[in-house]
Amino acid sequence: MSGKAVKAYEELVARQVEIARLGSIMGLLGWDEQVNLPRAASAARAEQLAYLMGLMHRRATAPEIGELLSIVEGSELVADPAGDAAVNAREWRRAYDRLVKVPPSLMEELERQISLSQGIWVEARRKSDFSMFSPALERLIALRKDYARAIAPAAPLYDTLADDFEPGATAEELARVLSGLRDALVPLLSAISGSSRRADVSILRRDYPVERQRIFAQAAAAAIGFDFRAGRLDASPHPFCSGIAPGDTRLTTRYDPRQFGQAFFGVIHEAGHGMYDQGLPAAHWGTPRGTSAGMGVHESQSRLWENFVARSRPFWQHFLPRAQQVFPDALSDVSLDAFYFAVNHVEKQFIRVEADEVTYNLHVLLRFELETALFSDQLSVRDVPGAWNENFKAYFDMTPPNDALGCLQDIHWSGAAFGYFPSYSLGNIFAAQIYAQARKEIPDLEEGFTWGEFAPLLSWLREKVHAHGMTYRAPQLIEKITGGPIDHRPLITHLQAKYGELYGL
């Protein structure tokens, strides 16, 4: 009986690795679409992806998977809930029960439309013309509604979508978390606005030649621990990280020759994602045990490196002299204090990925509110630009001058990734909790940054986060690391302390 279960488990692993291999091939095609694809090839790429998605979906919903899974679930293999087999069986079951409800034709059509919509979005954003993008957005929303309805006819559609990124999340709970953040952040933002201190941000808007930006950012990503023998860095319209396959993790960023921060912090953010992917246990690749623990945890890794490390004073104590060597014209007259303040300058602005730590979560909240309205039919696509601008005005007291700086700025909707945005805020919260714990456990953590030592932090994250794969869901993982539940207060404490000092509050 046990022999039968072991055999069933082994066959399941083999099948799931095959499915993951198809996913990794799709990952490469998706990366290439963002980075390299000639314009005329959009349709061909969409067909390639739709075909692979159909293939993958049929493999993932084969009745044999359900049968094999039942054998494993009824065996002693799953006795230890944190054991490899139990973790895999738990997540396979969850995925299988969801996927079998979705027709393959819907999955193919979604993938095809996502692929086609990427190019349309890039063009629409370039021309700042929402009307170019809205038919594609209509289609993607309609398809995602069909998808959510197929999986859970009775549940709020948004819950089903968010659950893909954050298992167990609901719109109600996310609203509670996000408004908790808002309630603490709005007064902080208001206090900062009232401060007479102002960073000199003009130092970040000097000449920063693109090729030098690339070299500097790549060197910094390598210094904090991203392994470029097993990865690369390219340019794309929207920064992202793609963990394609073992040994193949790819970062992208975008460059502005008159702006330092966007590309640099984009690279560090994506390198945070990338180091998580590179730290997942390779022996378990293709199974949940070797996969990340949801997008909130994934974003915690990117935000931790971006904000808690790369926007810290010790980090720049080490890197500013190096930046001055690479950008002598722009930076030779800049002090550490001035630079540190500039890269932490708080300012209401239009673009989420360029937002500071204080305003960032308000950008997320805005998107979350629009998405939940779209999926509960309280907002129609044609009203998106108006609703965006209205909500933006409410949170930031200013109105985007065009849709490129408004509702067209993010790649997520063109990828039908509705329900993703809250993961960013969860990531911020988790990052603060995890980082606070790291400071307790690693002696002289930030002192090490001043001489360029980041390995102790990466090793600690490898052990505490990366090595576990999907063994624990986010709440359990946070509990295991910090001894307590998910809690937004460490983030607030961090922001109050840091910005209180910077702005003399």
- As annotated, the active-site residues are 270
Starting from the edge strand earliest in sequence, which strands make up the sheet with 231-235, in order? 231-235, 248-253, 241-245
CA distance 113 to 421: 20
CB of 31 to a copy of itself, least distance (A): 9
Stretch of 6-14, 216-224, 227-235, 349-357 contacting a copy of itself, by CB under 8 A? 227-235
CA distances from 25 to 9, 18, 49, 242 (A): 24, 11, 9, 11
CB of 227 to a copy of itself, least distance (A): 7
Among the listed residues 94, 228, 256, 347, the single contact to a copy of itself using CB under 8 A: 228
CB of 181 to a copy of itself, least distance (A): 37
Among the listed residues 45, 57, 112, 466, the single contact to a copy of itself using CB under 8 A: 45
Judged by CB under 8 A, does residue 42 bind a copy of itself? Answer: yes
If the CB atoms of residues 59 and 348 are measured against a copy of itself, the closer one turns out to be 59
H or E element, residue 253: strand 248-253
CA distance 6 to 25: 29
CA distance 198 to 117: 41
CB of 10 to a copy of itself, least distance (A): 18
Select from 233, 254, 245 the least CA-distant residue to 285. 245
Judged by CB under 8 A, does residue 44 bind a copy of itself? Answer: yes
Longest CA–CA separation in the chain, Å:
74
Judged by CB under 8 A, does residue 416 bind a copy of itself? Answer: no
If the CB atoms of residues 45 and 238 are measured against a copy of itself, the closer one turns out to be 45
If the CB atoms of residues 66 and 246 are measured against a copy of itself, the closer one turns out to be 246
CA distance 444 to 452: 13
CB of 238 to a copy of itself, least distance (A): 19
CA distance 409 to 126: 10
Judged by CB under 8 A, does residue 460 bind a copy of itself? Answer: no
For a copy of itself, what does the binding mask look like between residues 10 and 29, x meaning CB under 8 A? --------x--xx-xx--xx
CA distance 362 to 364: 5
If the CB atoms of residues 217 and 244 are measured against a copy of itself, the closer one turns out to be 244
Judged by CB under 8 A, does residue 114 bind a copy of itself? Answer: no
Among the listed residues 222, 230, 235, 326, the single contact to a copy of itself using CB under 8 A: 230
Half-sphere exposure of 353 (CA within 13 A, CB side): 25
Select from 366, 339, 340, 344 the least CA-distant residue to 355. 344
Amino acid at 476: Q
For a copy of itself, what does the binding mask look like between residues 231 and 250, x meaning CB under 8 A? xx-----------xxxxxx-
CB of 264 to a copy of itself, least distance (A): 22
CB of 116 to a copy of itself, least distance (A): 13
- State residue 61 phi and psi, 5-degree precision: -115, 15
Residues 427, 302 contacting (CB under 8 angstroms): yes
If the CB atoms of residues 54 and 180 are measured against a copy of itself, the closer one turns out to be 54
Give the DSSP per-residue string, 406-433.
Answer: TTTS-SGGGGT-TT-THHHHHHHHHHHH
Stretch of 44-52, 76-84, 356-364, 468-476 contacting a copy of itself, by CB under 8 A? 44-52
Residues in the chain: 505
CB of 461 to a copy of itself, least distance (A): 20
Stretch of 46-54, 308-316, 321-329, 471-479 contacting a copy of itself, by CB under 8 A? 46-54
Stretch of 37-45, 306-314, 359-367, 435-443 contacting a copy of itself, by CB under 8 A? 37-45
β-pair type (231-235, 248-253): parallel
CA distance 356 to 340: 13
Amino acid at 419: G
For a copy of itself, what does the binding mask look like between residues 83 and 102, x meaning CB under 8 A? --------------------
- State residue 304 phi and psi, 5-degree precision: -60, -50
Which two tokens mark 315? 């980090």
If the CB atoms of residues 21 and 94 are measured against a copy of itself, the closer one turns out to be 21
Judged by CB under 8 A, does residue 115 bind a copy of itself? Answer: no
Select from 86, 98, 111, 88 the least CA-distant residue to 33. 111
For a copy of itself, what does the binding mask look like between residues 51 and 70, x meaning CB under 8 A? xx--x---------------
β-pair type (231-235, 241-245): unpaired
| 472 Rama class: left (phi>0) / alpha (psi -120 to 50) / beta | beta
Query: Given 3-state DSSP classes, what are the helix, strand and coil percentages for the chain, each rounded to the nearest 5?
Result: 70, 5, 25
If the CB atoms of residues 40 and 154 are measured against a copy of itself, the closer one turns out to be 40
Number of residues that bind a copy of itself (CB under 8 A): 35
CB of 80 to a copy of itself, least distance (A): 30
Judged by CB under 8 A, does residue 1 bind a copy of itself? Answer: no
Judged by CB under 8 A, does residue 347 bind a copy of itself? Answer: no
Residues 53, 26 contacting (CB under 8 angstroms): yes
Stretch of 50-58, 159-167, 180-188, 467-475 contacting a copy of itself, by CB under 8 A? 50-58
Judged by CB under 8 A, does residue 351 bind a copy of itself? Answer: no
User: Could you list the residues that contact a copy of itself (CB under 8 A)?
Assistant: 18, 21-22, 24-25, 28-29, 32, 36-45, 47-48, 51-52, 55, 227-232, 244-249
